[in-house]
A and B are shown apart, each in its own frame.
Chain A
Amino acid sequence: MTPAAALLEVKDLRVEFPTRRGTLVAVDGISFAIAPGEVLGVVGESGAGKSLTGMAVIRLLEPPGRIAGGEVRLEGERIDNLPPDQLRRIRGRRIGAIFQDPLTSLNPLYTVGEQIVQTILTHLQVSPQEARERALGLLREVGIPAPESRIDHYPHQFSGGMRQRVVIALALCAEPRLIIADEPTTALDVSIQAQIIQLLKRLAREHGTAVMLITHDMGVIAETADRVAVMYAGRIAEIGPVREVIHAPRHPYTVGLMGSIPKLGAGMGKRHMRLAQIEGAMPRLNAIPPGCSFNPRCPRRMERCMRERPALVTAGTNQTACWLYE
């Protein structure tokens, strides 16, 4: 992808947490780009730095976390060094965010209509009547039944799935160019998950919105994303078209990850079939090994992996950070 076509471009992003026992590097020089209308999945296990990457893009890192290097460009314009007031205009207007817990994303003291209308009025030059019309249209679009009566309800009067729809409506209301969705379906039951995934996918397609979908669930990625970045210990291990990453993973970590996911019906008839497993656990941030951070767990480790850190190289349709493909 050429940088000109990218809606969001992240280059060498580095997020650090200074602590009294030294600086922890939580996101270590990652680069990726998202095109308009594209859904980029960011997948990884807890502690891989995927949520922090999303938070760094909209600059919502909890202190003492801070961006320690790199660039974030939205439609070609650098946003990682903007002063806070300009950044606030971008958040909500050009970047929308959806978080895991729909309850804490909504203010319990206001009706959902008030919250959506207020957000629209903050970002768009419309009259209050137009804003309310728009809010109604959005609620209808995200699939809330009888929006005319539901618009004056409070968040607690909605069920979990409906609440997440309201959060999506809120994220969409200023027609942002980019949506960052951090585990949007994790708190929901499977039957609701499917509904929300369909909704996100349709909205991205119809509005040409770019989506950064952060999740630990490969199944959600498989159904929603166009491309996927697999993160491990603060770095991108592999990035490529979702079909390729799932069916022909290159990096040994991705291979192990795909093998360890139980697949419906795969063990059928063979009672107690063992899953492929990756030994050990992801290193803590204060104990990331030198060289390739995956090397202690890697079945194909070479001498070089323990000394030199691999950069992303092209391997077929994917890019992967592994010396096997040098």
Chain B
Amino acid sequence: MSDALLKLQEVGRDFDVSRPWLNRVLEGLPRQRLRAVDSVSLDVRRGETIALVGESGCGKSTVARLIVGLWQPSRGRIEFDGVEISNPATRAATSQVRRRMQMIFQDPYASLNPRWRVREVVAEPLRVLGLASDEAAIDRRVAELLRQVGLAAEDAEKYPHEFSGGQRQRISIARALSANPEFLVCDEPTSALDVSVQAQILNLMTDLQEKLGLTYLFISHNLAVVSHIADRIGVMYLGRLVEVAPAEDLFSRPQHPYTRMLLDAVPDLEMSGKQRTPVAGEVPNPLSPPSGCAFHPRCPHANDRCRMKRPASVVSGTATVACHAVQEGRI
């Protein structure tokens, strides 16, 4: 695909969660590795909003951090606009590419340095990346950014604690925008906010995307939010991408059994009388994931093949699905 702004190829990331060396020696324990992200391949097209959804611990936030370079992938390759950015050896050379993507975080109370005035928070990327010539230019740019996210230029002199959660999230967005990025990675940007404020931030993000031509990677656990903002949706389970599909198709014709289960579990606000089908079981311990397809212990369609062999991602209609049952036409 030539219009891919970001390409993930078989990206994986392990975390060493072993006990300290002394405990391992004394208690005879082996090293333990947690496979947080496992062979994720994904293309993000210029100008689209792609969402990653899944339950806690499914690896969606890890993918976000791998993309922006907060962590290095253990395996695989990440390309941004045709330049490989996953190799730590070439990190310095790729800094020009990296600055074209920025990140918005979940917790508006932890994402701003409490001791800095808003002006300094928003101006930090300008100073570090050398995007403003002098203090006057910084002042002008900060005021412009604050107005762009729906705050007042005078707010620059205040401290973060003087703002509500929603306003802080606006400040975070202004900081991310000050580096003139093309691509924003948004890690659960509204899940710490109240619904009426969430609506404000989602609308703001939509407006900014239209005005600035941004591309979003939107991480969320809330399918209803995702259905509002995303063009395409990827569903993750235990570090693996199980289904990627255009938003409409994912909601009208979910294919992977896990996607179906997630959709069934969404609370029914319309009160159509539809009963939620509670799913048996919970997400297994990621330290010892099930063999074969990671979802098989909870899957109503699992057979021996699902228990033995891990399904590959295969194109099925408009979607890409990793499921033996779908590929064999059993469901």
Residues of A in contact with B (beta carbons under 8 Å apart): 45-46, 159-162, 189-195, 197-198, 216-220, 222-223, 242-243, 246-247, 256-257, 259-269, 271-279, 281-282
Q: Is A273 in contact with B228, judged by CB distance below 8 angstroms?
A: yes
Q: Which residue of A lies closest to B283 (CB)?
A: A189
6 closest A-B pairs by CB: A219-B267, A260-B199, A45-B194, A275-B199, A189-B55, A277-B199
Q: Is B196 in contact with A45, judged by CB distance below 8 angstroms?
A: yes
Is B17 an interface residue when CB atoms closer than 8 A count as contact? no
Q: Is B271 in contact with A222, judged by CB distance below 8 angstroms?
A: yes
- Of the candidates B55, B251, B282, which one forms a contact with A264 in the assembled complex, judged by CB atoms under 8 Å apart? B251
Min CB gap B272→A, angstroms: 10
Residues of B in contact with A (beta carbons under 8 Å apart): 55-56, 164-167, 194-200, 202-203, 206, 209-210, 221-225, 227-229, 231, 247-248, 251-252, 261-271, 276-279, 282-283
- Of the candidates A189, A195, A271, which one forms a contact with B221 in the assembled complex, judged by CB atoms under 8 Å apart? A189
Q: Is B224 in contact with A263, judged by CB distance below 8 angstroms?
A: yes
Q: Is A223 in contact with B195, judged by CB distance below 8 angstroms?
A: no
Q: Is A281 in contact with B167, judged by CB distance below 8 angstroms?
A: yes
Residues on A with beta carbons closer than 8 Å to the beta carbon of B267:
193-194, 197, 217-220, 222-223
Q: A195-B278, A220-B267, A223-B267 are in contact. Are A261 and B229 (CB under 8 A)?
A: no
Residues on B with beta carbons closer than 8 Å to the beta carbon of A262:
198-199, 202, 222, 224-225, 227-228
Instruction: Provide the bound-state CA to CA distance between A261 and B263, in Å.
Output: 17
Q: Is A46 in contact with B199, judged by CB distance below 8 angstroms?
A: no
Instruction: Provide the bound-state CA to CA distance between A270 and B55, in Å.
Output: 27
Instruction: Provide the bound-state CA to CA distance between A279 and B206, in Å.
Output: 16
- Of the candidates B196, B223, B224, B263, which one forms a contact with A257 in the assembled complex, judged by CB atoms under 8 Å apart? B196
Q: A161-B282, A257-B196, A274-B206 are in contact. Are A191 and B261 (CB under 8 A)?
A: yes
Instruction: Provide the bound-state CA to CA distance between A273 and B207, in Å.
Output: 11
Q: Which residue of B lies closest to A264 (CB)?
A: B224
Number of interchain pairs (Cβ within 8 Å): 137
Min CB gap A183→B, angstroms: 13
Residues on B with beta carbons closer than 8 Å to the beta carbon of A243:
271
Min CB gap A50→B, angstroms: 12
Given contacts A268-B251, A278-B196, 12 further A-B contacts (CB under 8 A): A162-B282, A191-B262, A192-B282, A194-B264, A257-B196, A260-B195, A260-B198, A261-B195, A267-B227, A277-B196, A278-B199, A281-B166
Min CB gap A243→B, angstroms: 6
Instruction: Provide the bound-state CA to CA distance between A162 and B285, in Å.
Output: 14
Q: Is B266 in contact with A277, judged by CB distance below 8 angstroms?
A: no
Most buried by B among A264, A265, A282: A264
Q: What are 19 A-B contacts with C-beta separation under 8 Å?
A: A189-B221, A191-B261, A191-B262, A191-B265, A194-B276, A194-B277, A216-B194, A218-B267, A219-B269, A257-B195, A261-B199, A262-B198, A262-B202, A262-B228, A263-B270, A264-B263, A264-B266, A272-B206, A281-B166
Instruction: Provide the bound-state CA to CA distance between A281 and B167, in Å.
Output: 9
Residues on A with beta carbons closer than 8 Å to the beta carbon of B269:
218-219, 222, 246, 261, 263
Q: Which residue of B lies closest to A278 (CB)?
A: B196
Most buried by A among B55, B229, B278: B278
Q: Which residue of A lies closest to B229 (CB)?
A: A272
Min CB gap B98→A, angstroms: 27
Instruction: Provide the bound-state CA to CA distance between A263 and B229, in Å.
Output: 11
Instruction: Provide the bound-state CA to CA distance between A243 and B270, in Å.
Output: 9
Instruction: Provide the bound-state CA to CA distance between A72 and B155, in Å.
Output: 44
Q: Is B268 in contact with A219, judged by CB distance below 8 angstroms?
A: yes
Q: Is A277 in contact with B282, judged by CB distance below 8 angstroms?
A: no
Residues on B with beta carbons closer than 8 Å to the beta carbon of A278:
196, 199-200
Most buried by B among A257, A274, A277: A277
Q: Is A194 in contact with B279, judged by CB distance below 8 angstroms?
A: yes
- Of the candidates A159, A198, A279, which one forms a contact with B276 in the assembled complex, judged by CB atoms under 8 Å apart? A198
Instruction: Provide the bound-state CA to CA distance between A247 and B209, in Å.
Output: 32
